Amino acid sequence: MLSRRATLVLPGLALLSAKAEAQADWRQQIPEVRYGMISVENERDAIARLQGLQAFMARELRTPFRVFRGSDYAAVVEALRAGHSELAYLGPASYGLARRVMGERIAPIFRFIDNEGMEGYHSAMIVKADSPIRQLEDMRGKTLGFSDPNSTSGFQVPGWFLRRQGMDPASFFSKTGFTGSHEQGVMAVINGTFDAAVLAYSNERRNTFQRMVEKGMIPDGAVRVIWKSPLIPNAPIVLRMDTPETFRRDAIAAFASLPARDPQAFNEMSSGARGLASAKHEDYLDIMAILEENAARRRERRS
């Protein structure tokens, strides 16, 4: 009887074990992992910088891993919201947008520690090197290029701080507009489309225009900085929290091991950062408050 009972129970246990194993293998639900990138730079260079990451993550996760660049910041947020991306690199403001439309379905997991050991960066306003504009006050009546409506350093933060200094962009400048990316903002200044542009700036050795010099896109010394914002928390790598728990665990572990296990891929991906720091939603509360104030101001103007 004992032997017979055992034969009756064991197949059931085997089925339960197989079911648990199937549930644990997240690859059945996610046959390809997709990583989105906001449009800070041109698509060719953005994708090229992430080829090492793509290969590393495919090996670590044992499944295809694809990187893509959104046509604009909102496109990457929409890909996450619609379930077309599991991971992404967002700016602090575009993370705020994602949090508004996705709630706790999205969360930051890491942010870069830059080449000087900082976990933050600045919004910087640049002009051509030979421009007569020397300081922010000289920009009255001039033209300013923003990068993207959902860019932290390229729109949300500079607009907020300028208004705090009594320089509302709507009236202080003769014209404002969007260039599409930080790199295109630099080119718009050099080409004379705008007198100035705002963009991401970590330090003298690591910023948008310095990277363009390294890539041969512009000559060294073509632009200079006339204003910098206070420190902004570095942009987060985010993860969809409605994915399987086993996937989230594996993805976080793979990213955490990247700097040590593939330094070249990490260096290319991060443009020379020192490492990764853990990130959490609370790190971006100040930025989200700025977003809410900016949005309220726009609503007041429309009403």
The answer to whether 33 and 65 have CB atoms below 8 angstroms apart is yes
How sure is the predictor about 141, in pLDDT bands with cuts at 50, 70 and 90? very high
What gap in Å lies between CA 146 and CA 200, rounded to an integer? 11
Q: What is the pLDDT of residue 9?
A: 39
The widest CA-to-CA distance across the chain, in whole angstroms, is 97
How sure is the predictor about 280, in pLDDT bands with cuts at 50, 70 and 90? very high
* Beta strands at 33-37 and 87-89: parallel, antiparallel or unpaired: parallel
What gap in Å lies between CA 165 and CA 64, rounded to an integer? 49
Q: Is the pTM of this model over 0.95?
A: no
Distance of CA 81 to the CA centre of its chain: 15
What gap in Å lies between CA 125 and CA 111, rounded to an integer? 23
pLDDT in tens, 23-77: 569 999 999 999 999 987 888 888 999 999 999 999 999 999 999 999 999 999 9
pLDDT in tens, 150-181: 999 999 999 999 999 999 999 999 999 999 99
| DSSP letters spanning 83-130 | TS-SEEE--HHHHHHHHHHHGGGEEEEEEEE-TTS-SEEEEEEEEETT
Higher model confidence: residue 172 or residue 22?
A: 172
Contacts by 219-222, CB closer than 8 A, 24 or more apart: 221/129, 222/128, 222/129, 222/190
Q: What is the pLDDT of residue 6?
A: 36
Query: What backbone phi and psi angles, to 5 degrees, belong to 118?
Result: -95, 150
289 - beta bridge partners? none
